[in-house]
Amino acid sequence: MQTAYTKEELRSTLAPLRGRRLVLVPTMGALHEGHASLLRQARELAGEEGSVVASVFLNPVQFDNAGDLATYPKTPAQDLELCDACGVDVVFMPSPDTMYCNDRSISMEETHLSTVLCGASRPGHFAGVCLVVCKLFNLVQPTDAVFGKKDYQQLAILRRMVRDLDIPIQIHGAEIVRGADGLALSSRNVRLTPEHRAAAPSIRRLLLAAGESYAAGLPAGDICASVKRELELIPGVRCDYVELVDAETLHESTNPHRLALLAVAAWFGDVRLIDNIELSRS
């Protein structure tokens, strides 16, 4: 496994790998088993002849909360070990100064999918995501890229970006990896208090119950209200949103035969957790 810290090192390292399948997995570091599943999927997609590139970059541009950025966990040595164990060929670990010019003046904006769910309460977040991912796509020039479904809105927006900008990359969505108790794995989980860590798996339990209600034909508004009410009964928990939307457009689901998405974001103390479940009545 090779590690590149500058754009020049990355280009030089990737030059011999051109012409074959090249699969990118962008991460912000603090890697865990959820990231490992993305890397293993990328390794399988690349096959013996292709290569896997992982980026480890805590992107400051996508943080709307300076405190969240400051407390985001950083484990670079462990990240490299995990990448090596998962068969990654190249790790790109740039600094913010490497990724961004001091006088940068170009931005990116998505104007439909990013106006709801997390985008409604995190202004500028997805503009920062699109900018850094577009830069990574330009630098790596992969044939494929893998993103997790836990960040479902991000996945939908990046698929739209690739479509609208004619970027020749195939986007793959990877299933959510969960702990034995059902909690979606996240780098932020380590910041939960013991009490909130014990309570956090209730998100998954409520999503599964909501899925049964959806299959039974209950109205979306009633389903969302029930999930929110149950979550906010937990001490120290407040909901950002509970929404049932079309899985592709992320707006109101009007066709019961299309795949739907029930998405939740809630604060457990000062830690914001997200989760979701795909729903179908067909």
For residue 145, give the CATH number of its domain. Answer: 3.40.50.620
Bridge-partner residues for 148, per DSSP? 174
Q: What's the chain's length in residues? A: 282
| Active-site residue, 32 included | no
Considering the domain architecture, whether residues 162 and 136 belong to the same structural domain is answered as yes
Q: Which of 35, 125, 196, 251 is catalytic?
A: 35
Kindly state whether residue 21 falls inside one of the protein's structural domains: yes
pLDDT in tens, 125-146: 999 999 999 999 999 999 999 9
Helix (H, G, I), strand (E, B) or coil at 168: coil
- 121 and 202 together in one domain: no
Q: Same structural domain for residues 112 and 7?
A: yes
CA torsion 114-183-55-247 (nearest 10°) is -30
pLDDT given for residue 257 in this prediction: 85
- What pLDDT sits at residue 95? 97
For residues 100-104, average pLDDT: 96
24: domain range? 2-174
282 found inside a domain: no
Instruction: Assign 3-class secondary structure to 18-40.
Output: CCCCEEEEEECCCCCHHHHHHHH
Q: Nearest to residue 130, comparing CAs of 111, 104, 150?
A: 111
Closest CA to 115 of 125, 104, 107: 125
Closest to 276 measured CA to CA, from 173, 153, 129, 123: 153
For β-strands 271-279 and 260-268, DSSP reports them as antiparallel
My answer on whether 92 and 206 are in the same domain is no
User: Last residue of a domain, which of 145, 174, 203?
Assistant: 174
In this predicted model, what pLDDT tens digit does every residue of 204-250 receive, in sequence order?
A: 999 999 999 999 999 999 999 999 999 999 999 999 999 999 999 99
Residues 13 and 138 in one domain: yes
- 6-65 pLDDT, tens per residue? 999 999 999 999 999 999 999 999 999 999 999 999 999 999 999 999 999 999 999 988
Percent of the chain with pLDDT over 90: 94
Please, what sign has the CA dihedral across residues 281, 250, 185, 240?
Answer: negative
| 167 and 204 fall within a common domain | no
Residue 182 included in any domain = no
Q: What is the pTM of this model?
A: 0.95
Q: Is residue 217 part of a domain?
A: yes
Distance CA 228, CA 209 (A): 13
Asked whether residue 236 is domain-assigned, the answer is: yes
Residue 282, pLDDT above cutoff 80: no
